[in-house]
Chain A
Amino acid sequence: MTNVISEIRKDYLYNLMLRGERADGRSFDGYRDISIQRGFIEKAEGSALVKLGKTQVLVGVKMQPGEPFADSPDRGVIITNAELVPLASPFFEPGPPNEMGIELARLVDRGVRESKSLDLKSLCIVPGEKVWIIFIDVHILDDCGNIMDASSLGAIAALLNTIVPAKKFGLGEDYPLEVKDVPIATTAMEFGGVILFDADSDEEPIASTKMTVITTADGRICGMQKSGTGMLETEQVYRIVDIACERAREIREKFLEV
């Protein structure tokens, strides 16, 4: 299915952007309202329902003991998957994740893993035999733009309320999963020289280039991804990174108290 946008609409949005304005009145680096409902799925070990503007993403965390990978016998395993179910958008088709879904899952994974938010060694049960497997499953419910940032936020929010289900596997008492950092992804899009953060469903189809920057609580960059068929000037990249750190810090502070 193709997204039919009139040239008039594109021109209108572009002209607004040139004036530093957006159709919903936000600033070019402004985020829509965020709300996070933790523990939405009580049967999961951890979960979070994230609303970013009208975009809605549900992330569930499940844990069970399993075999470690051969090359890391004393480390827990993180498996991240994203389902872009057709319920969420007229442009999502049923079936296994396509390249967009796979990219999204891998980026969410990168944020969790590279920020060292989880100490994988502490998830070892019996070295070489048994470790905790953590499944992070992203389920998109309503794609109204920027499912990337919403998914990443949902993942870390879900991990933050995850309880390790030791009891039901005879491994002791349940205890909260230790989360050592809070990675936040911020995605910018570029269109005709204009940079916009947190594009909504009106703006997203117009962009030819996007860049996601994932930063940690101590201000490091732990993941980046340029996507789309356009190009970015080096200056634009530096600008995006600067703003990304700022926005991520604000989101982290605001949502840590949510």
Chain B
Amino acid sequence: MIFMEEKISFIKDGLRLDGRRAEELRPIKIEVGVLARADGSCYVEMGKNRVIAAVYGPREVHPRHLQEVTRAIVRYRYNMASFSVEERRRPGPDRRSHELSKVGREALEPVILTSYFPRSVIDVFVEILQADAGTRTAGINAASVALADAGIPMRSLISSCAAGKVGGEIVLDPMKEEDNFGDADMPIAMTPAGEITLLQMDGGLTIDEFHEALELARSGCRQIYEVQRRVLIEKYGQLEGERGERTEVATCD
């Protein structure tokens, strides 16, 4: 399909293919508590990505031999629906989803207080319903909110987004075309205080470009954190209704 006569100009007059500036995130929508069965859940749209995360737990570990005597184990399962991608994909995990499950878990586990629940498991399930570059970061954002929704004790939320190099420029939150034809892609995840829990890169970046990309990604994460936090607060804010004055609570950083 993709044999083009001329090179696509990824950035023209400071605007990208979808009209964004280099440092702009795609539109984000977050909904908390969208599933009845799960203990915690969250639906996220980031650009054309549509993902849903559910948390079950802490609950009993099956099979028993996996349990740890002093803490909860955390399981994270990243899965793509067959219809989520351009060419229908066969259901079931592949090597990529195994890798993304591992890094997803490692992005969230550092902030979870697993010692509170010995001999149990906290299960995180992320289903990608529609994919458009950045599913792993959307999944982590959804999972973090779902964990809060489930009442899991955590040191903080985790926010995630990617930076990339496209057409010689460092851009925030690459979409599918930019990811496919870009020169580098770097997803990260971090706490609001800036501690990094996920960092992956593929492509080619000079040291300077890497610095620029990381700073851009960090700013993206901070913006996403504000949305995550606002959605959680507003869920109960509405029900407060005619309650008296609400006092501001300082947020991290």
The interface of chain A, by Cβ under 8 A from chain B, is 1, 40-44, 47, 54, 56, 58, 60-62, 64, 81, 83, 85-90, 94, 96, 135, 137, 139, 141-144, 168, 201
Closest A residue to B89 using CB positions: A62
Cβ–Cβ contact A96 & B92, under 8 A:
yes
- The one of A60, A83, A143 in contact with B37, judged by C-beta atoms closer than 8 angstroms, is A143
Query: Smallest Cβ distance from B3 to chain A, in angstroms?
Result: 13
Known contacts A64-B88, A81-B91; A141 and B77 CB within 8 A of each other:
no
Closest B residue to A61 using CB positions: B83
25 A-B pairs in the complex with CB atoms less than 8 angstroms apart: A42-B130, A43-B85, A43-B132, A58-B81, A58-B129, A60-B83, A62-B83, A62-B87, A62-B88, A64-B87, A83-B82, A85-B125, A86-B125, A87-B35, A87-B53, A87-B54, A88-B37, A88-B54, A135-B82, A135-B88, A137-B82, A137-B83, A139-B81, A141-B52, A201-B37
Query: Smallest Cβ distance from B212 to chain A, in angstroms?
Result: 31
Task: Indicate the member of B56, B77, B86, B91 with the most A CB atoms within 10 Å.
Answer: B91
CA gap between A201 and B77 in the complex, in Å: 25
Cβ–Cβ contact B35 & A141, under 8 A:
yes
A sample of 5 more A-B contacts (CB under 8 A), given A43-B85, A90-B37, A141-B35, is A41-B50, A41-B84, A43-B48, A62-B87, A135-B82
**Residue total for B at the interface (Cβ-Cβ under 8 A):** 34
B231 at the interface (CB under 8 A from A): no
Cβ–Cβ contact B56 & A90, under 8 A:
yes
Query: Smallest Cβ distance from A40 to chain B, in angstroms?
Result: 8
Cβ–Cβ contact A94 & B77, under 8 A:
yes
Task: Indicate the member of A1, A61, A139 with the most B CB atoms within 10 Å.
Answer: A139
